């Protein structure tokens, strides 16, 4: 990977880091997700500043060039990120279902109490 490519990737990752910190500052992104993404940026920067590692990944995968190794690692993180997001969505969907059931039960119990009060008044 040549120096120009390293600089472009580093600038892009720093811009993403600034954007993430802005999202956390305005409470649009929770801290636990910010830590995950900052860790991802850190690992990608390791590959940028240590191109031999990218070359090794390329050699092991049968590809040519350290940039391909970097892109393979980036693709792996993308897949892991999608799996993580799917897991979080599933967890939140389950939580939403439970809250909806609790809300429905609460409405049912309120309706029964109102019927009982109406019966007592007559």
pLDDT of residue 118: 64
- Cα–Cα distance, 47 to 17 (Å, whole number): 16
Domain ranges of the chain: 3-121
Selection from 8-17, 46-55, 56-65 with the highest mean pLDDT: 8-17
DSSP string, 44-60: HHHHHH-HHHHHHHHHH
pLDDT of residue 119: 63
17-24 long-range contacts, Cβ below 8 Å, gap at least 24? Answer: 17/41
- The pLDDT tens digits of the residues spanning 87-97 come to 888 888 888 88
Q: What is the mean pLDDT of residues 3-22?
A: 91
- The pLDDT tens digits of the residues spanning 95-115 come to 888 888 888 888 777 776 666
- Cα–Cα distance, 101 to 98 (Å, whole number): 5
User: Would the pLDDT of 38 be above 80?
Assistant: yes
- The pLDDT tens digits of the residues spanning 65-74 come to 767 767 777 7
Q: Kindly state the tokens that stand for 48.
A: 């940028």
CB neighbour class for 29 (10 Å; exposed up to 12, middle 13-18, buried from 19): middle
Q: Kindly state the tokens that stand for 55.
A: 């070359």
């Amino acid at each position: 990977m040549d120096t120009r490519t390293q600089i472009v990737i580093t600038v892009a990752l720093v811009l993403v880091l600034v954007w993430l910190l802005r999202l956390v500052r305005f409470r649009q992104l929770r801290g636990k997700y910010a830590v995950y993404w900052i860790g991802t940026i850190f690992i990608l920067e390791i590959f940028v500043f240590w191109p031999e590692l990218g070359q090794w990944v390329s050699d092991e995968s049968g590809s040519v060039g350290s940039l391909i190794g970097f892109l393979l690692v980036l693709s792996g993180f993308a897949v892991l990120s999608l799996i993580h997001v799917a897991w979080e969505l599933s967890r939140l969907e389950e939580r939403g279902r439970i809250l909806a059931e609790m809300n429905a039960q609460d409405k049912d119990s309120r309706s029964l109490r109102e019927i009982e009060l109406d019966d007592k008044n007559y």
